[in-house]
Every structure is written in C-alpha cells, then in structure tokens.
Amino acid sequence: MAVEVTPGTGSTRATTARELSGLDALEQHVGGDPSWASRLWSGLWPKVAAVSIALALWQVVVWSGWRPSYALPGPGQVFPELGRQLLEPGFWEAIATTMRRAAVGFGVATVIGLVVGVATARIGRLRVAIGSLITGLQTMPSIAWFPLAILLFQLSESAMYFVVVLGAAPSIANGVITGVDYVPPLLQRVGRNLGAGGLQLYRFVIMPASLPSIVGGLKQGWAFAWRSLMAGELLVVIAATPSIGLRLDTARQLNQAESLISWMIVILVIGILVDVVFDRANTAIRRRWGVVDA
Amino acid sequence: MSVEQLPSQGSAPVGASAAGVGATAVALRGVSKVYGRGPTAVLAVDRLDLEVRRGEFVCLVGASGCGKSTLLSMVSGLEPVTAGQVVVDGGHRPAQMFQEAALFPWLTVRGNVELALRLRGVARRDREPEARELLATVHLSDFADTRPHQLSGGMRQRVALARTLAQQTPVLLMDEPFGALDAMTRDVLHDEIERIWRERELTVLFVTHNVREAARLGDRIVLLSSRPGRVVEQYPVDIPRPRRIDSPEVARLSATITDRLRQEVRRHGR
C-alpha cells in the first residue's frame, strides 16, 4: 500500500480521513426515538379529553333547563341528527359546494397574495405606498365588505369571492413580506456568490427561505377566507345551490335546532381539519430545517 | 464596479498547467472603500495594492476594523469598490467561504452542493455524480442525504467547502472559515484545506485574525492596518510544508507578526 507520508507531522491523507471520521462520529447524536404508538397516544389523549369536557359542559347546560330543548337540544339529540344527515346525498352536496367556493376563493387569494407580497417586499416605493394599507385591510372585518359586494355583483358567487379574496389575500401577502424581510443576509450573499441574481435569487434562495412565514400567512389567510365564506353564504342567499351556509339558514328558519347545531359542528370540523393540514406542513418544514427536534 | 478579466490569460480551467504559476491571479490596484456619505463617512480601505500569484496561499491578518472581510467581498464582487480596480484571473468572481457555513437549511448536504453546480450550469444528469465526488473530497460521502442542522460545526464548514469547490473557480476566498471551530477540528481542517489547495492547484486568499493559523497555512502573510485598512507589512513564510501549528518555527514567526500587530493596535490607543 502506498502511503503518502508527510514528514514532520507524521500525518497522512489516510490518517487525516480517519481523524475526520472519528471527530464526525463523536459529534453524532446518540439516543432512540419514542415509538409511533406512544407518540400517537400522547398526541391523541389531550384532544379526546378536551372534546369530552366540552360535551359534558354542553350536556350540563341542557340539563339545567336554561333553555327549552327545542331551542337548545343536547348532544343526545344533535349527534343522531348529524348521523342521519351523513347518509343524505344533499348533505355532501352542500359541503361540496361550500368547499369548492372555499378552494377557488382561497386559491385566487393565494395567487394575488403571493404576487402582491413579492412585489411589495421587492419594490421599496410600492412598500411605502401600500405596505400599511395591506395591514389595514387585514383588520377590516370582512362582513363590512358585503353590502358593497352585493351592490357590485348582486346575489352571486362573485360577491362571495370578492369578499373571500379581500379577507384572505392581505394575510398571505403579509406572510410573504415578513418572510422575505427575515431571510438571513448571509444566505443571500452566498446565493449571489454562487451566481444567482435577480429572479434566480428569489427562486433558489429567498422564496425557500421565506417558506415558514409564507405557510404561516396561508394558514391565517385560510382562517379569514373560511370566516368570510360562512358570512357570505348566510348573507348572499343563492337558493338554487344548497351550501353549508344555506342549510344553516334554512334550519334556523324552520326552527330545526338539532340540524342547525349539527351544521355548526360540520363547520367547526372542516375548519379544524384544514388547520391540521397547515400545522402538518409547518411542522414538516420546521423539522427539516432543524428548528425543532422531533 | 470594476472586476475584469486579465487580457492575456483567458478563462483557463482550474490548474490547467504549470505554465501559469507565477502569473497574477488577483490584483488589487489602489482599492478604496468608503462606507456612508458626507461627514459621517468611514474610510474602511485606503488605496490598497496587493498582488496574488497563481497557486499562492496568501493570508490576510489584522486587528478588528482593518477591512479584511470587506476586502474579500470586494474581490468576490459582493461589495462594490469605491475607487481603484480589482482584477481577477479567469474573469468570473471567485468563490467565497464565510465564518458561518451558511448552508441552505431546506436542502440536504448533497442538495446544497448540487445547487452550486446547477447555478454553474452543470447539466442535471452530471450534478449528482459530481456532488458525490466533491463530498468524497471533504470526507462526507456518508452524509450526503443528511440535513445541515444534523451536522457539527466542522462538518457544516466542510459542506460549505465542497459547495465552494463546486463553483470551480481557480481562486478561493476564505473569510475566517475556521474561526468558530474548536482547536482539534481546526487542526485537522488545516491539513484538509492544504491538501485540497495543493491537489487542485488553487489560489487562496485567506482572512484570519489568528496569526498562528496564518503562519500554519500561508505562503505569504499580509498584515493590514486598521481604520483605514492598508498593507503594513508582508511576511513570506519559508517554513517547509507540511507544518504544525504548534511547531517552534510557526510560533517564532507568529510572535514577530503579533508584536507588529500590537504596535499597530497601540496606534489607535490614547
């Protein structure tokens, strides 16, 4: 074997390699991860406990006789009603209509929010001009837009989209602006040194580095979009296309309290499920980046 | 900004031939850098001249505020010069390494290296083998699919080195790359950078505040003054390689340079 001895130090290429791998091995983290079953259980039981407590409180209020049962039915009446509705095709049609509106509205808001956010973050003058306007729009209660929306678009889906987009896009744009602002300057210098300029720097460095904040903006944007859409479906009544909002309103008009509350549960569950998706995305990013160890 | 090509040398590939040894790789001519404007403006670097020959390992040392880092960034083109000229062999801006590895946390180790290859214009099918080869060079083949946060500081710095080598520039700029590492790791990495410099026939411009490190690595040590940065003194290092950072020769030279450096610092006292 030919060993390239470097006189004086007695170090060879092979020994240096050994030393490096020795140092590397000593640096590696030791220890096992908990099993998936115990992780699942530790994530599940607090939720189960919280839901049980909420249901128990609800039942206690019903038993206290605070309101007659035709106005406030208990879980024992509402859940069978919900179960019955699950078997109805109309139930799923209403959900499909609402989810389609939510997806389209949120999708349009995402595109507008990303474009406006990048443009505002990049162009100083635009930022001076509309930076605070974007934050202002975020604080505007979306229901306040509906009179104008109905004036502009009559009782149509366009009126709902108008309000949903106005509600969600500012949050998404703000997420992008914050993300771009907090990209470490050193990463940008490295990107430029690697030869990325202009759009390439955005594509390969700035946008991926902003991803956590963008996901945060999307999550908040979704919450605004969902609220605006529910308000919209209650105010902009389109009787021909049944939707969650329409069914909720119908239940109130027909004094069907069980149905009304079961639709509210549906709204809550959908909101939670979508939120879980955003949380998963957020956790996956943080884990990949090493912001959390889990 | 005036980073331009030396007319005679074209864009020779890295370590193309021994014919170019002795030719100028980097030349700074009357380079000045001013930060700010008007009465509050600060002169960071003042009419600095420096020539680095091809294949040379030059260390820049100086106290804080001597504009060492600014100087490197002006050579790499990240900072514009206020006055004067920076000429770099091969035309394109040299690759630069920083005190922090600054790896992209959303990419794996290999992804980081491949991004540098992609931005250099390497075809997609060639990127993976070339990235693996570069990671083998820094002895990190086993960590190709690891995420940066799972590595130690020294390992991250080696990934950064592989990413820098991926740029395939004949000149390498290193801005205190080992400053944040423990002494043991630093020693081993000195061996590594020396080996890679020799194997690839690179030209290295290495900034450090550690005079011993400079004496361990450099062919020549350039001592800079502080505020404004100027070349005070140059020391050719004729200690035969390989050297040890704890050898008496290295200690003697660094003592001389440290004395001169202290004298320079005293100038700023009252």
3-class state of residue B42 by DSSP: strand
Return the pLDDT at A8: 44
* Residue B235 near residue B221 (C-beta atoms within 8 A): yes
More confident residue, B140 or A12: B140
Total domains present in chain B: 1
In a domain, B100, yes or no: no
Return the pLDDT at A7: 46
Q: CB-CB: which of B115, B150, B152 is closest to A290?
A: B150
In a domain, B111, yes or no: no
In a domain, B158, yes or no: no
Interface test with B, best of A33, A187, A190 (most B CBs within 10 A): A190
A20 to B192: CB separation less than 8 angstroms, yes or no: yes
In a domain, B113, yes or no: no
In a domain, B145, yes or no: no
Residue B104's Cβ-side half-sphere holds a number of Cα atoms within 13 Å equal to 26
Beta bridge partners of B206: B59, B174
Chain A residue with CA closest to B96: the answer is A193
State whether ipTM is beyond 0.85.
Answer: yes
CATH number of the domain that B258 lies in? 3.40.50.300
Torsion, CA A196, CA A200, CA A206, CA A208, rounded to 10: -110
Return the pLDDT at B18: 41
pTM over 0.95: no
A189 to B147: CB separation less than 8 angstroms, yes or no: no
- Running along chain B, 270 residues long, what does each successive block of 10 average in pLDDT? 41 40 86 89 91 95 82 92 90 89 95 96 95 94 93 94 95 93 91 94 94 96 88 93 93 95 84
In a domain, B1, yes or no: no
Beta bridge partners of B229: B45
Helices (H), B121-210: 124-137, 153-166, 183-199
pLDDT digit string, tens, across residues A54-80 = 999 999 999 999 999 888 999 999 999
Query: How far apart are alpha carbons A111 and A165 in whole angstroms?
Result: 10
What the block records as the tokens of B162 is 């592989």
State mean pLDDT over A227-239. 91
Residue B194 makes CB contacts below 8 A (sequence gap 6+) with B57, B217, B241, B242
Is residue A294's pLDDT more than 60?
Answer: no
Tell me how close the Cα of A14 comes to any Cα of chain B, in angstroms. 11
Return the pLDDT at A128: 87
Return the pLDDT at A190: 96
Beta bridge partners of A12: A5
Is residue A112's pLDDT more than 80?
Answer: yes
Check whether the bond before B236 is cis (ω within 30° of 0): no
Return the pLDDT at A238: 87
Could you say which DSSP state residue A239 is in? T
Residue A281 sits at the chain B interface (C-beta within 8 Å): no
Query: How far apart are alpha carbons A259 and A252 in whole angstroms?
Result: 9
In chain A the domains, ranked by start, together with CATH numbers, are 70-289 (1.10.3720.10)
In a domain, B18, yes or no: no
If you average pLDDT over every residue of chain A, what do you get?
Answer: 88
* Residue A231 near residue A163 (C-beta atoms within 8 A): yes
3-class state of residue A198 by DSSP: coil
Return the pLDDT at B16: 37
Contacts with B102 from chain A: Cβ below 8 Å = 184, 186-187, 189-190
Query: How far apart are alpha carbons A151 and B202 in whole angstroms?
Result: 71
* Residue A164 near residue A113 (C-beta atoms within 8 A): no
Interface test with A, best of B104, B112, B168 (most A CBs within 10 A): B104
What the block records as the tokens of A7 is 């006189």
Q: Which stretches of chain A are assigned E, i.e. beta strand? A: 5-6, 11-12
C-alpha distance from residue B36 to each of B41, B53, B74 (Å) = 4, 33, 16
In a domain, B118, yes or no: no
Q: Is B261 exposed, middle or buried (0-12, 13-18, 19+ CB in 10 A)?
A: buried
The CA-to-CA distance between both ends of chain B, in Å, stands at 37
Contacts with B163 from chain A: Cβ below 8 Å = 194
Q: Number of CB pairs < 8 Å for A and B?
A: 95
Domain that holds residue B256: 56-78+169-266
* Residue B8 near residue B54 (C-beta atoms within 8 A): no
